[in-house]
Amino acid sequence: MISLLLLVGLAVAVFVGFNVGGSNTGVAFGPAVGSGAVSKLAAGLLMTVFALLGGWTVGRRVVTTLGSNLVVGDPFTLPVSIGVLFFIGGSLFVSNVFGVPASTSMTAVGAIAGLGLAQNALATAVVLEIISWWIVAPLIAFWVSGMVGRYAYDAVEERIAVDTSDGSLLALDTDGRVPTPQLADETTPREATGVVLVVGIACFMAFSAGASNVANAIAPLVGSGQLTMNAGILLASGAIGLGAVTIARRTLDTMGEGLTELPLTAALVVAVVSATLVTALSAIGIPASFVVIATMSTVGLGWGRATRAEGALVVDADDVVEELEQEVSVGDLYRPWATLRVVALQNAVPAVATIGAYALFSVW
């Protein structure tokens, strides 16, 4: 018979997975939703499928190692696991309520680091290495995207030409015995190719999110022997899917519309930069700050485009009108106050998890 304490642990794990889905879906599919490539419901369903694939394959390694690298010894008893998961889930829930996606990896590492500090068992060298990459990678994302936005965006847009048309992307051909999907009359082949690229990269980002973040929901319980690996992955993936189709709607709005207006070309740039950096960090064994990297890529692209508009030269009356139109659009390209709110909360959430876990386990 399952004990009451284990039921509590499972409930907290589901709560963490639910908030992981709410936070990471906005980052993976925000550009695709903001550009009109997919709906919010479709984004949630795709997030569910690819997060499960990532967790079921690559994520097994993360589940195995998360509980042993940051803290020396074997700290994850069932009560301790519940305490750690509580701070991870609670902190992520606060970020989702504010509509700002927070880094699950940073929050989970923060909570476990709080446990390690309280027990004088923190693997300091490992933590410092991870933090150094968390600082460097978002800066790389910001500046690469910013340079693309300022100097290369127009050339990229002209080359791929993936502006969206009105109406649906696909239509059903009902002339035959079996209805078959085909491109709608208004859809160009280039637009269809662009949509496939954006959605495909978003699915890859969802795969990466599942690979790294499934562990954040279940690693303590699996590490304590209370849950098998397969059962844990299925539990976490189901909870992520629930969050992806419900609470993720707010973070989808924030990432797709609240920071910068993203046409399909811009969504493709953000997705490529973010997915490349996350994959590179995962390849060298660093738990990637998935949310922060994608956020800073989005902000960097908007900043680059906005500063390009602000720096245009005005030489005659026609250019004056054009420049004024560009200045009006700057507020759409880059919103400093929205950016400040996002960055502040993304740093506050892991800090809250760390301090809360340290305070709890200091008196445990």
Domain of 65, in residue numbers: 8-362
Distance between start and end Cα atoms, the chain: 27
Instruction: Confirm whether 2 is domain-assigned.
Output: no
Residues 33-61: what's their mean pLDDT?
Answer: 87
Instruction: Confirm whether 37 is domain-assigned.
Output: yes
How far apart CA 229 and CA 333 sit, in angstroms, is 44
For 100-159, the pLDDT digits (tens) are 656 777 888 888 889 889 888 888 888 898 889 889 999 999 999 999 999 988 888 777
Instruction: Confirm whether 264 is domain-assigned.
Output: yes
Instruction: Confirm whether 246 is domain-assigned.
Output: yes
Instruction: Confirm whether 163 is domain-assigned.
Output: yes
Torsion of CA 191, 197, 198, 200, to 10 degrees: 140
Please say whether the beta carbons of 141 and 304 come within 8 A: no
Instruction: Confirm whether 98 is domain-assigned.
Output: yes
Helix (H, G, I), strand (E, B) or coil at 243: helix
Domain count, the chain: 1
Instruction: Confirm whether 44 is domain-assigned.
Output: yes
Phi, psi of 137 (to 5 degrees): -60, -45
Instruction: Confirm whether 216 is domain-assigned.
Output: yes
Q: How far is CA 111 from the centre of its chain?
A: 19
In this predicted structure, the answer to whether residue 259 has a pLDDT above a threshold of 50 is: no
What's the chain's average pLDDT?
77
DSSP sequence for 121-185:
-B-HHHHHHHHHHHHHHHHHHHHHHHHIIIIIHHHHHHHH-----SS-SEEEE-SSSS-EEEE-T
In this predicted structure, the answer to whether residue 171 has a pLDDT above a threshold of 80 is: no
